[in-house]
Amino acid sequence: MDLYRDFILDHYENPRNFGHLDHPTSVETLFNSACGDKLTIEVMIETKKPAGAVITDIRFTGQGCAISQAAASLLTEEVKGKAVSAVMALPAGGMEKLLGTKLTASRVRCATLPLEALQKALVKTRGFRVR
C-alpha cells in the first residue's frame, strides 16, 4: 500500500500551514464535485523582492481525502518564499513528485486540486503585481 506511506499520513494528520492568514493578498476556493472535496488557499505576496513577486506566507483550509490534504500541506511548504512566476510554472505532474508516488488517473485530481487553487489565487493577483 505504497500510497499511504508514513510521511503522507503525517501530512494528512498534522497538516502544515493549515488555517487562515490575517490579511491574505488573494484567496481561492475550489470544489471537486465528484468527491465533495473543498479546498481554500490563502496567499500573502510581496512585490518588492529582487525576484519580483514572492509568496511570503500561505495557508490552506478544507476537507478532503488523505491525498488532497497531504498534497496541500506539502505544496504550501514547497512554495513559501518562492517567486510567483516559478509557482505559476509548476506543472500538474509536479504534485506526484512532491507526494513521491505514482497516482492512478482517478486520484490525480485529488493531488492537483491544491496546485490549481494556488495558481488561480495567483492569477487573481496579477493586477496587484503591476501596480
Partner 1 sequence: MLSVKAIRKDFPIFKRTILGRPLVYLDNAATSQRPKQVIAAVNDFYRRHNANVHRGIHTLSEEASNLYEEARATVAGFINCGSDELIFVRNTTEGINLVVWTWGFDHVRSGDEILVTVMEHHSNFVPWQQMAVRRGAVLRVADITEDGLLDMEDFKKKLSKKTKIVAVTHCSNVTGTINPVSEIVRLAKRVGAVVLIDGAQGVQHIGIDVKVVGCDFLAFSGHKMLGPMGSGGLFIKRERQEEMGPFLTGGGMIREVYATHFVWAEGPEKFEAGTPDVAGAVGLAEAVRYHTRLGMRYIRKHESNITAYALERLRDMKDMQIFGPSDVKVRGGVVSFTIKGIHPHDVAEVLNYRGVAVRSGTHCAMPLHDRFRVPATTRASFYLYNDKKDIDALISGLEQAKHIFR
List, by residue number, the catalytic residues.
Answer: 35, 110
Q: How far apart are CA 78 and CA 95, in angstroms?
A: 10
What the block records as the C-alpha cell of 21 is 492568514
* Dihedral sign computed on CA atoms, order 116, 120, 125, 129: positive
∠ at Cα 117 (19, 83), nearest 5°?
85
Number of amino acids touching partner 1 (CB under 8 A)? 17
What is the pattern of x (binds partner 1, CB under 8 A) and - over residues 64-83?
xxxx----------------
What the block records as the C-alpha cell of 62 is 478544507
Interface with partner 1 (CB under 8 A), residue from 15, 72, 74, 107: 107
Element (H, E) at 48: strand 37-49
Does 1 help bind partner 1 (rule: CB under 8 A)?
yes
Does 11 help bind partner 1 (rule: CB under 8 A)?
no
What is the pattern of x (binds partner 1, CB under 8 A) and - over residues 30-59?
---xxxxxx---------------------
CB of 74 to partner 1, least distance (A): 16
Q: How far apart are CA 113 and CA 41, in angstroms?
A: 10
Which residues does residue 52 pair with via DSSP β-bridges, in sequence order? Answer: 49
Contact window for partner 1 (CB under 8 A) among 18-26, 27-35, 90-98, 121-129: 27-35
Q: In the complex, which residues of this chain contact partner 1 (CB under 8 A)?
A: 1, 3-4, 9, 33-38, 63-67, 107, 110
